[in-house]
Every structure is written in C-alpha cells, then in structure tokens.
C-alpha cells in the first residue's frame, strides 16, 4: 500500500533525525522534499502537493487556489510563526489545519535585531568590505556611529519587541514604543508612531503583516524620520514600502537600514542591493541551530497529531479540525 506523502519545503529538514523525519517514516508516511529557495508559483505548489496529506513548510504560498486543488491536504505545519503566506480562512473552511511554532525562535530574532542595529551603526559590513579590498579608512566619511545612549523606537511590543528591549538595557538607551496593545511600565514610554519616527535614532519593526500594517513605513512616514536615523526590519518585508526606502537611502534622507526581510524574497531590487548603507541578511532572524531543531520538532509533532486525530500545539484555528471530523 502506498504511504501518504508529507511535503517538506523547510531547507535542511533532517530526514533521518530521531525527532523529525524518522518519526514520520516510522508512522508509515513517506517524505517528499522540495526545499524552498525562492518564490514558487501557485501551479508549482499544486504540483508539489499532489496527494500530500501534510506539509512542513517555510514561507510557501498557500493561497485559496492552491488549497482548493490540494484535496488530500489535512495539515500545514509552518516552521516559524508567520502565516501571511497562508490563506488561513480558506484553509480552515476546507478543513486544513494550520499550525505554527510560537516561542521557538523569539530569542534568536531578538538577538538578530540587536545585531543588525550594531552592524549598521558600527558600519561593520562596510569596513569588512573595505579591509578585504586593501582599504584602511577609519575616520571621515567612514566614521562609525554608536548605539550607546541612542533613542530606540520599537514599533510593536509583543514578545520579540520586549526581548529586544531587554537586550538593549546595557546600552543605556532611551526606548520609545508604539503599539496600541502595549501597556506602559518601567523603562518604556508609549508614544504615537509619528512621534516615535521623528525622535528615534533607530527604528526597529516588530509587527505581524496584516492588511492594517502593510506598507506601514511608506514614503510619508519615512519622511518623518531623522536623516541620521537607521531603520531595522526583522519582522516582515511587506511592512515597508521598499521603493520609498531605497529612494530615502539614495538621497541620504535616511542614514542607513538593516533588513532581514523583504517584499520579495530573495530581494531582486537592484538599487537596494547596490546601496552601501544597507545591511542585508537572508531572513535568518529566527534561525539558529537551537531554534531550527525546536521548530522542526514541533512541526513534525503537529503533522503527526493532526493525522492521528489529536489536537496539535500551535493550531491557528481549531475550527479546521471540526471540518475534518464532520
């Protein structure tokens, strides 16, 4: 009898790991590997999902059409917490359980956000490139800046925003927070977004991507930022109008940016890639050896639980299980 396939798009998923692939094969499932290295079309996803019962995925596209035509699919286990690439409402209606791995990569993302702040302000990538090319410029136009004593604006103050704040305590910074759901407490000053943008030396984004936050940092809001400010984004690329950001950086209306996420991944904007005052990383904020091991283990758990009729951890909408059992 043919074993039901599980599609795995998360790169480097351990097919023989005792906490990952081996558990799937021991449960009588087969593995179909298609690591996500770039965006795939809906047709490509539909072809990969043919006959698939479960999927352990990266930021793959699961729109309504992909879900509708993937008739055998019962569970999507997202390695991470974002669901903006998944039509959760359609999935729930079709009885496809969507699960995420909350809590597994928050510390890693907070570390990366602070690392990007330091990389941009201390101009580490620029100096690295210069030294490799035989240069030794240390002052003048190559002079670095400081994080210590700066005003840091955190846009979004959920778990990751709070972890970033905690990591910044040793730098003697003033922290401003813009988040309608946040509550003031020691060391945090809640302000409206325009005030945060106009006062901050560093603006760091920590919001989910929704219809209300898409292009939140557009040309108008970039114009509110100080010309010596730095924008850091480890959340979602769609929060920022990338074209407007490039223009602000090119015209030196903004000192620098540090980006781990992009409107299109990998980024294809040639002007962005050519800018010397931008630090770029490949959406690795939530990625570490520890976080990947934990996220892939939890995603494996979710697939096994749903296919066995159990309630999984990280289930986004429990109504999907009701549709499955109807």
User: Per-residue pLDDT tens for 284-305?
Assistant: 999 999 999 999 999 999 999 9
Could you report the per-residue pLDDT of 184-224, keeping only the tens digit for each? Answer: 665 678 999 999 999 999 999 999 999 999 999 999 999 99
Residue 177 CB partners (closer than 8 Å, separation 6+)? 153, 154, 157, 161, 165, 188, 189, 190, 191, 196
Q: How far apart, in Å, do the first and last CA atoms of the chain sit? A: 26
* Average pLDDT, integer, range 87-95: 97
Catalytic choice (236, 255, 297, 298): 236
Dist CA 41 CA 55 (whole Å): 17
Report the percentage of the chain scoring pLDDT > 70.
Answer: 98
Question: What's the mean per-residue pLDDT of the chain?
Answer: 95
CA-to-CA dists, residue 234 to 89, 208, 223, angstroms: 26, 10, 21
Catalytic choice (32, 195, 265, 269): 265
**Are 230 and 120 contacting, i.e. CB atoms less than 8 angstroms apart?**
yes
State the maximum Cα–Cα separation within the chain, in Å, rounded to a whole number.
71
Report the percentage of the chain scoring pLDDT > 90.
Answer: 90
Active-site residue, 247 included:
no
Helix H or strand E encompassing 272:
helix 270-274
Confidence band for 181, pLDDT divided at 50, 70 and 90? confident
Structure tokens at 321: 């299980």
User: Which pLDDT belongs to residue 73?
Assistant: 97
User: What domains are there in the chain, each with its CATH number?
Assistant: 5-104+288-325 (3.40.50.720), 106-280 (3.40.50.720)
pLDDT of 1 strictly over 60: no
CA-to-CA dists, residue 280 to 39, 89, 188, 232, 256, angstroms: 18, 33, 29, 10, 11
pTM: 0.90
* Average pLDDT, integer, range 26-45: 94
Catalytic choice (112, 162, 199, 283): 283
Active-site residue, 23 included:
no
* Average pLDDT, integer, range 102-110: 94
Q: What is the DSSP letter of 203?
A: E
Burial call 70-97: b when 16+ CB within 10 Å, e when fewer: beebbbbbbbbbebebbbbebbbbbbbb
Confidence band for 38, pLDDT divided at 50, 70 and 90? confident
pLDDT of 163 strictly over 70: yes
Could you report the per-residue pLDDT of 252-285, keeping only the tens digit for each? Answer: 999 999 999 999 988 988 999 999 999 999 999 9
User: Which pLDDT belongs to residue 292?
Assistant: 95
Give the distance, in angstroms, between the CA of residue 136 and the centroid of all CA atoms in the same chain: 35
Could you report the per-residue pLDDT of 107-133, keeping only the tens digit for each? Answer: 999 999 999 999 999 999 999 999 999
């Amino acid at each position: 009898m043919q074993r039901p396939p599980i599609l795995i798009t998360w790169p480097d998923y351990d097919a023989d790991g005792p906490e990952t692939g081996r558990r799937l094969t021991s449960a009588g499932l087969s593995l179909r590997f298609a690591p996500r290295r770039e965006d795939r079309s809906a047709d490509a996803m539909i072809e990969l999902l043919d006959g698939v019962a479960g999927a352990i995925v990266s930021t793959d596209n699961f729109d309504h059409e992909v879900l509708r035509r993937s008739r055998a699919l019962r569970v999507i286990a997202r390695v991470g917490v974002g669901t903006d690439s998944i039509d959760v409402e359609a999935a729930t209606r079709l009885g496809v359980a969507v699960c995420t791995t909350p809590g597994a990569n928050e510390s890693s993302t907070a570390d990366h956000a602070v690392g990007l702040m330091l990389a941009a302000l201390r101009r580490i990538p620029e100096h690295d490139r210069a030294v490799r090319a035989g240069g030794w410029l240390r002052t003048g136009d190559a002079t670095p800046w400081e994080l210590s004593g700066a005003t840091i604006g955190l846009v979004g103050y959920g778990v990751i925003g709070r972890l970033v704040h905690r990591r910044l305590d040793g730098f003697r910074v003033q922290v401003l927070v813009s988040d309608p759901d946040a509550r003031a407490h020691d060391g945090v000053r809640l302000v409206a977004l325009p005030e945060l943008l106009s006062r901050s030396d560093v603006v760091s984004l920590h919001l989910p991507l929704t219809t209300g936050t898409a292009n939140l940092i557009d040309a108008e809001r970039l114009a509110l930022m100080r010309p010596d400010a730095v924008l850091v984004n480890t959340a979602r690329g769609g929060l920022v109008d990338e074209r407007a950001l490039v223009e602000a950086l090119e015209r030196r209306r903004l000192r620098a940016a540090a980006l781990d996420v992009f409107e299109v991944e990998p980024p294809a904007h040639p002007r962005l890639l050519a800018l010397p005052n931008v630090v770029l990383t490949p959406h690795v904020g939530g990625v570490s050896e520890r976080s990947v091991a934990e996220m892939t283990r939890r995603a494996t758990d979710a697939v096994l639980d749903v296919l066995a009729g159990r309630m999984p951890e990280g289930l986004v909408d429990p109504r999907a299980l009701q549709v499955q059992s109807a």
